[in-house]
Amino acid sequence: MLKRNSIVKFVFLALIAVLGILLCVCPISLPNSTKTYNGFLYSIEKGLELGGGAYAEYECTLPAGSPDKIEDVIDASLYKVRTAFGTEKYTELSVSRCGENKIRVEAAKAKDTDYAFWYFEDGKQFSMTYEAASDSVSPKVIVKSTDIDNVKADYSYDTSAYGLKVTFTNEGLTNLEKLKTDAKKTADKKIYVYLGEVNSSNLLNEYSVSDVDNNMFLTAKSGGTYSTTNYSDVRELAYSITSAATGVNLTLISVGNISPKLGLNVQLILEICLLIIIVASFVLFVVRYRELGLLGALSMILFAVLDLFLLQSIPLITLNVAGVVAIALGYMIAFVSHMILFEKMREEYAMGKKLHLSCKGGFKKALWPILDSHFILAIICVFMWIFLPGSLKGFAIIMLVALLLSVFTTLALMRYFVATYLRINSTKAKRLGFRREEGVKEISEEVSEENEDEVANSVVGGGNNE
């Protein structure tokens, strides 16, 4: 009965493994829907190298009368450009200076029709004063566009309204405090925010001094020129303000889609290489460990399925060439961990232990070598994630996921597989690729663990007991 139950369990596990493979690589059309499920592998977010995206190129000119060099202003503005487009949550973003007076933005999982590229061209100067502009009054601007560190579209649950979340640079905070001090000396103690030319028609809104600080939330005045009634309006204003905050005038000169930088042929080659690694590991398992190798192959299939499932579930992961290398390296680490476990079992059996004791002793002796190596590699991955640039953070996360799964499949899943298998075969060691040298006698179960190694090495005579 136990043998039959174990066989049924392995058949069930094999079916789960086949289903997992299908879920990983096979697209499935959902019934009564136009959507298609692409599988775990193809659902992982891809970067520019593997997935392509869109680009936008802007020509930069200095405002009239600026004494600065265009190259210096552009270099200083790249952070603000990167922060602005970072709010779109593209899977990968590249912002760089091209030549002397151009900025190029490349975004994975973006289209050339993305409004963000067009919004960014229409820069609107941001001004804060303590006087209301009128035909007779031209107020002094104390806080201006270049004092802004970041602007993003936001939603306030307190007021149930869309608006702009504005943060300031250190110099901007200094100017903001000066503005508040001057505003407190006025009769109405208000601060006025303008977008574009400072005049009454471009007033965004007015605020009391107590409502103005870093991370302030701006909304448009009802009936004014600007609107913040929906996310699209707020998003457009955020890009326009950030565009002016760069300190240069931006003109969109080209926009278009980007094909995967490595090309489809390279992606196919990478997939073939991964397939070769998997098949080669399975062949080595079966040739060296026979039925134990089949258990190892089943464990590695489940490892791969779980790995791809987690990678497409974790939003921090963007797949590029470094990520593909991390996937292959993680698989190899899991493979080597299984090999260490199997070799410890072989060593235990070669000493003269019975088959079930050899498996038990193999897990015991492989435990700390596997845990120690994985712990060290995990620490390295954590440091890589903290200190390396964004393009390599994905490598660290992918490796860390693989390490955790490697420990689980090697020490937990394989333990269950071996325990289930021993109910089918607990005596025929040749079916697992285990052998003893001539003259090594089988150790009885009564021999204590403290002296069993000594007994196994000293007992000579008898046949090969399997």
What is the pLDDT, as a whole number, of residue 2? Answer: 80
Separation CA 407–CA 417 (nearest Å)? 15
Mean local confidence (pLDDT), 225-253: 90
Instruction: Measure CA 412 to chain center.
Output: 26
pLDDT at residue 466 tops 60: no
Q: What is the pLDDT of residues 404-417, one digit of tens each?
A: 999 999 999 999 99
Q: Where are the domains of the chain?
A: 2-28+263-435, 53-258
Instruction: Measure CA 57 to chain center.
Output: 27
What is the pLDDT, as a whole number, of residue 30? Answer: 66
Which of the pair, 448 or 311, is modelled with greater confidence? 311
What is the pLDDT, as a whole number, of residue 11? Answer: 94
Instruction: Measure CA 351 to chain center.
Output: 46
First to last CA, the chain: 24
- In contact, 28 and 36? CB cutoff 8 Å: yes
Sheet holding 148-156, edge to edge: 148-156, 161-168, 216-218
Mean local confidence (pLDDT), 199-211: 90
pLDDT at residue 463 tops 60: no
pLDDT band at 253 (very low <50, low <70, confident <90, very high): very high
What is the pLDDT, as a whole number, of residue 355? Answer: 92
Which of the pair, 232 or 267, is modelled with greater confidence? 232
User: Tokens in use for 84?
Assistant: 């602005």
Return the amino acid letter for 440. Answer: V
- In contact, 396 and 385? CB cutoff 8 Å: yes
Separation CA 256–CA 196 (nearest Å)? 29
User: Tokens in use for 35?
Assistant: 């959507």
CATH of domain 2-28+263-435: 1.20.1640.10
Separation CA 298–CA 35 (nearest Å)? 32
pLDDT at residue 298 tops 50: yes
DSSP run (H or E) holding 96: strand 93-98
| Cα pseudo-dihedral 231, 237, 243, 246, rounded to 10 | -100
| Cα pseudo-dihedral 305, 307, 309, 310, rounded to 10 | 160
pLDDT at residue 364 tops 90: yes
Average pLDDT value for the chain = 87
Q: What is the pLDDT of residues 29-70, one digit of tens each?
A: 766 666 677 788 888 888 888 888 999 999 998 887 778 888
Beta strands 216-218 and 249-258 are: unpaired
pTM greater than 0.85 (yes/no): no
- In contact, 219 and 205? CB cutoff 8 Å: yes
CA atoms within 13 A on the CB side of 223: 1
DSSP run (H or E) holding 273: helix 263-313
Give the Å distances, CA to CA, from 273 to 99, 278, 280, 320: 38, 9, 10, 15
Separation CA 27–CA 48 (nearest Å)? 22
In this structure, of 11-25, 141-155, 379-393, the range with the lowest mean pLDDT score is: 379-393
Q: What is the pLDDT of residues 2-35, one digit of tens each?
A: 888 999 999 999 999 999 999 898 877 766 666 6
pLDDT at residue 456 tops 70: no
